[in-house]
């Protein structure tokens, strides 16, 4: 009798697991079918100007993604900040830009977005060239954690969204890290659509990363921030910012790199 009960419970558990994706998609379909709130449309107009530049089909897709993202992800205010719909929609719009044309994908590992009023201070450990470990304080505008959290400065998020052509956007940067972290620790090699793509990805991004690191700054300018030379993970996040905000310059100056990001993001911002 005990064996039969255990077997029955195991079967029920398996059936529950198999049914979860179906139930999740049904719930998301109901959310996407709801009208996009008029107040949210006003927030997009005021706070996320690049949303207006999207083709009509992508604008509609973005709005539906925002609805699901806001419904599924927890927003937590820090340092006394009270989270509002304006914050949720502004952050969600920028996060969802990166996942357009991805069916049923909403950052599956992400659970929480922590929002500070402005830049925040964290304790960071680093090892110098001689191998000695140090502890220090750093002032940040954003962080992405592999444990399912993104941390953002609200003021920096607003500033990044306000100018969609300056190539600097903290939300895009941190959510690009989330994509990178799906395969484990961020390393500049996010989950590509096909295994065959990794060889070219590594070759193109590796060459561009090395070129940025070896640039004889400050004598030579670059489209990419020097922060991108920190490591391959930061390089991927930095070039993602530029891809969405300065596609014309990137396509002209770094055509092979631009093509890799078009394939990865399944979007071509030059057509907007």
pLDDT in tens, 27-72: 999 999 999 999 999 999 999 998 988 999 999 999 999 999 999 9
Q: Read off φ and ψ for residue 91, nearest 5 degrees.
A: -70, -45
**Closest by CA position to 74, among listed 20, 143, 149:** 149
pLDDT in tens, 123-138: 665 554 555 444 556 7
Cα–Cα distance measured from residue 210 to residue 208, given in angstroms and rounded to the nearest whole number: 5
Measure the CA dihedral 153/157/226/176, to 10°: 100
Domains and CATH numbers, the chain: 23-126+134-185 (1.10.472.150), 187-272 (3.40.390.10)
Kindly report the average pLDDT of the chain as a whole number. Answer: 89
**pLDDT at position 17:** 45
pLDDT in tens, 178-201: 999 998 889 999 999 999 999 999
pLDDT in tens, 215-261: 865 556 789 999 999 999 999 999 999 999 999 999 999 999 999 99
């Amino acid at each position: 009798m005990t064996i039969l009960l255990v077997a029955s419970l195991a079967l029920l558990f398996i059936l529950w697991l198999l049914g979860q994706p179906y139930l999740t998609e049904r719930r998301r379909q109901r959310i996407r079918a709801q009208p996009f709130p008029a107040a949210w449309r006003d927030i997009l107009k005021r706070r996320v100007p690049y949303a207006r530049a999207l083709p009509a089909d992508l604008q509609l897709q973005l709005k539906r993604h925002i609805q699901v993202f806001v419904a599924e992800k927890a927003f937590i205010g820090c340092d006394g900040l009270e989270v509002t719909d304006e914050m949720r929609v502004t952050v969600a719009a920028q996060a969802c830009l990166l996942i357009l044309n991805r069916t049923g994908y909403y950052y599956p590992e992400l659970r929480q977005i922590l929002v500070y009023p402005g830049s925040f201070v964290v304790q960071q450990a680093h090892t110098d060239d001689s191998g000695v470990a140090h502890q220090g304080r750093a002032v940040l505008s954003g962080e992405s954690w592999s444990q399912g959290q993104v941390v953002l400065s609200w003021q920096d998020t607003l500033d990044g969204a306000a100018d969609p052509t300056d190539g600097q956007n903290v939300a895009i940067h941190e959510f690009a890290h989330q994509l990178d972290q799906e395969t484990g620790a961020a390393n500049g090699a996010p989950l590509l659509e096909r295994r065959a793509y990794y060889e070219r990805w590594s070759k193109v991004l590796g060459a561009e990363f090395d070129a940025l690191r070896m640039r004889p700054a400050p004598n030579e300018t670059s489209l990419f921030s020097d922060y991108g030379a920190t490591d391959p993970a930061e390089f991927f996040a930095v070039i993602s910012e530029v891809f969405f905000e300065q596609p014309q310059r990137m396509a002209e100056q770094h055509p092979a790199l631009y093509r890799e990001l078009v394939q990865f993001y399944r979007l071509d911002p030059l057509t907007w």
